[in-house]
Amino acid sequence: MSADNPFDAMFSGVIGREYDMLKLICPFATEMSRLVGLEIGDFCRGHASPASVVELGGGTGITTLAILSAAENCRVLSIDSEPTMQNQAKLSLQDWVQQGRLDFSGQDALSALRDLPADSADAVASAYTLHNFEAGYRRQVLAEIYRVLKPGGIFVNGDRYGLDDIDAHTRATQQEVAGYFKVLTGIDRLDLLEHWIIHLFSDESENHVMRESIALAQMAEAGFGKIQLKRRMDVNALVTAAKNAG
């Protein structure tokens, strides 16, 4: 990571090529993507016309598919600057593209958001993306999400939200690492184990970790209202917020 590359470039390597392995080592991740999709689906059902949804960090398309499957009346712009992962999504989700319900952007999150008009998206969704950002970059992304949302629009994020209780957070992270070892040594994938452990060090670093109370306070500072932590599974949580209707 550098000032010019404010996101985790590790996803261009073995993790990006085999990101679906996350389903095995962290089953909560798949569940969180499903929950993000359900939240967006519930929101879109209240719209007479197709809702405009911006997805940050679409990756291999796990959350993208959850959104498209849960909400028939939405059109999704999936943003991800890592082609190793996005190309997998383009391949597996091409039917949705042909239906005119899905577009892709290869820009980084902040640049893509800045190119969108103010008050142009009904919803912004994300799963396991914001925690990868350096804290200052993340703060800018939150401000742009708020700007891009229409009044009354929602932001749904399923992600790693660090527990405020540091001891409890450490125990949960230790259990997570133990799961990595159990699964990946069992299938003789020490190469993936090495990369995920290195990536976890980035997740837990001071300039990346999204501590719950601080993260929710930053959302409030950006202007969001109705901020709710709706579901927590160890260090994983589903957070929703809304742009004031004006």
Q: How far apart are CA 2 and CA 80, in angstroms?
A: 18
Q: How confident is the model at residue 23 (pLDDT cuts 50, 70, 90)?
A: low
Our CA angle for 164, 168, 173, nearest 5°, is: 105
Q: How far apart are CA 97 and CA 64, in angstroms?
A: 12
pLDDT over threshold 80, residue 26:
no
Superfamily per CATH, domain 9-242:
Vaccinia Virus protein VP39 (3.40.50.150)
Q: What is the pLDDT of residues 155-187, one digit of tens each?
A: 999 999 999 999 999 999 998 888 888 888 888
pTM of the predicted model as reported, rounded to 2 decimal places: 0.86
Answer yes or no: are the C-beta atoms of 122 and 48 closer than 8 Å.
Answer: no
Tokens linked to 78 = 């999936």
CB atoms under 10 Å from CB of 69, counted, come to 13
> pLDDT value at position 125?
98
Mean of pLDDT over the chain: 88
Tokens linked to 221 = 């500072």
pLDDT-above-90 percentage for the chain: 65
